[in-house]
Amino acid sequence: MEQFAETLRQENIGHVVINEPLSKHTTIKLGGPAELYVEPKDVESLIRLMDFIGTAGKEWFVIGRGSNLLIKDGGIKGVVINLAKGIQHLNYVDEERIVVGGGYPLIKLVTIISRKGLSGLEFAGGIPGSVGGAVYMNAGAHGSDMSNIVTRVHVLFSDGTMKWLTNKDMQFSYRTSRLQAERGIVVEVEMQLKKGDKDRIVQEMKKHKDYRRDTQPWNDPCCGSVFRNPLPDHSGALIEKAGLKGKKMGGVMISSMHGNFIINVDKDKAKAQDVLDLIAFIKQTIKEKYNIELETEVEIVGETPVS
């Protein structure tokens, strides 16, 4: 991998590091090392990187801003590509349509768009992560989600081809998209917004942002909502009803603010395995008490350390 890393450095692909701790790049501050960690400096560099990866036959995995992600303590083999540094362009196609890079921070985008009097993203006020990640999992809240505003997604596939996928092509459904079944990188996203009353739009965005701040532990290291909601039930309510809020394992704990969040309460001690153990405990408890099978929403990746 050293030789491959040196090749990428010589080709000026971007920031390249061997054995980078991924705990530095996840919102829960957990995760083992990346065998090779790369921050491509722009879209062209990303395309060239994928060409090098394909030629060398390396495994790869993409991260954005590290939310909705749990990386196991053994880290990730192959190349970890972080889009959050270099793929952050924002272009205005016309008065109501934008194209935004996959690594662009969603919270920043929501704020900018709302202040321009463009409606459609208010629901995402306070949702962390990148635009690409939000599209990948069809992030949503308050009765709306990304599928309502995304018109096209520019995807770089593992064979090096790039293609614009329409909203229909993306096969959006509750917290899922086509890209969870077919590997590809969200390079940029086209969104159709709507001009409206700026003050009302900003107020709506801030209302959702304040609600999230007041009801969810975003000041604590966490990975976001751990479980999908088994509609019409809600995971957080079920976990609270079961008396599990505040339950601790190792260095992590179920938030006392919201049952569907696991927080890192001891950065020196906590392991990703603690989160996995707590997830298993929650699933077993909810199954026994309510005969409901909880499914994880957080993406769990990486290697289990050899003991």
Active site (catalytic) residues: 175, 225, 297
Concatenating the DSSP letter of every residue in 91-144 gives: EESSSSEEEEETTSBHHHHHHHHHHTTEES-GGGTT--SBHHHHHHTT-EETTE
Residue type, 15: H
Can you name the residues that pair with 253 across neighbouring β-strands? 248, 263
The gap between the terminal CA atoms of the chain, to the nearest Å, is 24
SS3 assignment, position 16:
strand
Q: Give the span between the Cα atoms of 222 and 227, in whole angstroms.
A: 13
Q: Which of 307, 134, 283, 113 is nearest to 205 (CA)?
A: 113
CA angle 217, 68, 191 (to 5 degrees): 105
Q: Which of 159, 125, 130, 161 is nearest to 144 (CA)?
A: 125
Q: Give the span between the Cα atoms of 255 and 261, in whole angstroms.
A: 6
Q: Copy the structure tokens of residue 103.
A: 């690594």
Query: In which element (H, E) is residue 303 found?
Result: none
Do the bridges between strand 262-264 and strand 60-63 make them parallel or antiparallel, or are there none, so unpaired? Answer: unpaired
